[in-house]
Each structure stands twice: as C-alpha cells, then as structure tokens.
Amino acid sequence: MLRGVAGFGADSVVHTANILRLSADLPLVIEVVDTQEHVDSVLPEVDRMMRGGLVTLEKVRVLKYDRTPAS
C-alpha cells in the first residue's frame, strides 16, 4: 500500500498533505499480484467497498530472485 502526498480529487482540486492537516482524500494505491482467477473472485467484494475512485487491472510479468547464501 502506498499513500500519495498530493493528488487530484474528484473535482480536480489538488489535495496535499501537510503537518496541520492530514487529508483523508489523498491518493492511495494498493497493489495485489495474484492469479486472474483469484483477482476476479474478490472484485465483487471490492466493488461493494468502493465509494469512489479507480481500479486498474494489469497483466504483469513477475520475476522472483532467491538469494540463498552459498554454503
């Protein structure tokens, strides 16, 4: 999960974080990497929770590096 420090709201108004006001309407990015089937199975629940915003679905190529120390 990543929280932005600035972003455009629904009305294209810039929202920023500052010390005096921690805005609840700053951008939030939640990334999930899983199979298409698993993502599709949770989308109805995500749809019920969303009150606004965007969901983007992207195909990705995942590379896993295992840095196991040599013995």
Q: What pLDDT score was predicted for residue 54? A: 83
Q: How far apart are CA 66 and CA 71, in angstroms?
A: 14
Task: Give pLDDT tens digits for 22-66.
Answer: 556 667 788 999 999 999 999 999 999 988 888 889 999 989 898
Q: What would the two tokens of residue 5 be?
A: 């420090």
Query: In the prediction, which pLDDT does 19 show?
Result: 47
H or E segment to which residue 36 belongs:
helix 36-49
Q: What is the pLDDT of residue 29?
A: 83
The residue among 36, 16, 37 whose CA lies nearest residue 27 is 16
Local structure of 6: helix, strand or coil: strand
Give mean pLDDT, residues 4-18. Answer: 63
